[in-house]
């Protein structure tokens, strides 16, 4: 018989979360889903309610659920406090949509960050009529994502649609040239 162990956050974890909160830093790591979106949004709203000083969001995420990323994106634009977006590790898929929620001058990355843009995908199943509806929705999301990337990077919509047709990887330098990032930094002292 296997014994179930409950994971209880340690005092150390609580201490680190408190320190991150006091430093006005939100961590967006791992796959984006409803649970992650709720946690990030809760922190953003609380920090903005406390002060209009800038909030730093550190992103290292392969992406995930598009609509969960949309919630984070929209709340970042909704709150009063300005947000600095800092990519690290990799910023992919729906995480790029979150990354693009701030003005270009507030989009940074650390030197080894990689970026991935591509069209959305989804598991499609069910009746033919349901599959047709799901396919139509995926196409609409692809067009919306491409329009956001084009608007926020200065690339043409046609170029973005072509680029996201397949996985399109960029280094930090390439992401700056593409318009995703304003600059690569090595120290938080470089944040404005």
Q: What is the pLDDT of residues 98-149, one digit of tens each?
A: 999 999 999 999 999 999 999 887 666 778 887 788 888 888 999 999 999 9
DSSP letter string over the chain? -PPP------HHHHHHHHHHHHTTEEEEES-B-HHHHHHHHHHHHHHHHH-SS-EEEEEEE--B-HHHHHHHHHHHHHSSS-EEEEEEEEEETHHHHHHTTS-GGGEEEETT-EEEE--------SSHHHHHHHHHHHHHHHHHHHHHHHHHH---HHHHHHHTTS-EEE-HHHHHHHTS-SEEESSGGG--
Q: Per-residue pLDDT for the chain (192 aa), expressed as one digit of tens each? A: 455 556 566 666 777 777 777 889 999 999 999 999 999 999 999 999 999 999 999 999 999 999 999 999 999 999 999 999 999 999 999 999 999 999 999 999 999 999 999 988 766 677 888 778 888 888 899 999 999 999 999 999 999 999 999 999 999 999 999 999 999 999 999 997
Residue-level pLDDT at 174? 98
* Known catalytic membership, residue 118: yes
pTM of the model: 0.87
Question: Which CATH architecture group holds 22-184?
Answer: Alpha-Beta Complex (3.90)
Going from N- to C-terminal start, the domains of the chain cover: 22-184
Catalytic residue, chosen from 48, 68, 93, 182, is 93
Residue-level pLDDT at 130? 79
* Known catalytic membership, residue 93: yes
Residue-level pLDDT at 12? 63
């Amino acid at each position: 018989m296997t014994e179930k162990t409950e994971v209880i956050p340690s005092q150390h974890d609580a201490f680190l979360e408190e320190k991150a909160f006091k430093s006005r830093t939100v961590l967006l790591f791992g796959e984006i889903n409803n649970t992650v979106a709720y946690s990030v949004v809760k922190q953003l709203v609380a920090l903005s309610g406390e002060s209009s000083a800038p909030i730093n969001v550190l992103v290292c995420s392969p992406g995930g659920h598009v609509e969960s990323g949309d919630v984070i994106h929209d709340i970042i634009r909704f709150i009063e406090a300005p947000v600095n977006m800092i990519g690290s590790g990799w910023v992919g898929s729906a995480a790029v949509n979150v990354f693009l929620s701030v003005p270009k001058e507030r989009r940074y990355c650390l030197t080894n960050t990689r970026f991935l843009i591509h069209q959305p995908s989804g598991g499609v199943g069910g009746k033919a009529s349901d599959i047709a509806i799901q396919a139509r929705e995926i196409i609409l999301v692809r067009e919306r994502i491409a329009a956001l990337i084009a608007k926020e990077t200065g690339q043409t919509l046609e170029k973005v649609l072509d680029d996201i047709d397949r996985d399109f990887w960029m280094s930090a330098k390439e992401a700056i040239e593409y318009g995703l990032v304003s600059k690569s930094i090595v120290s938080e002292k470089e944040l404005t």
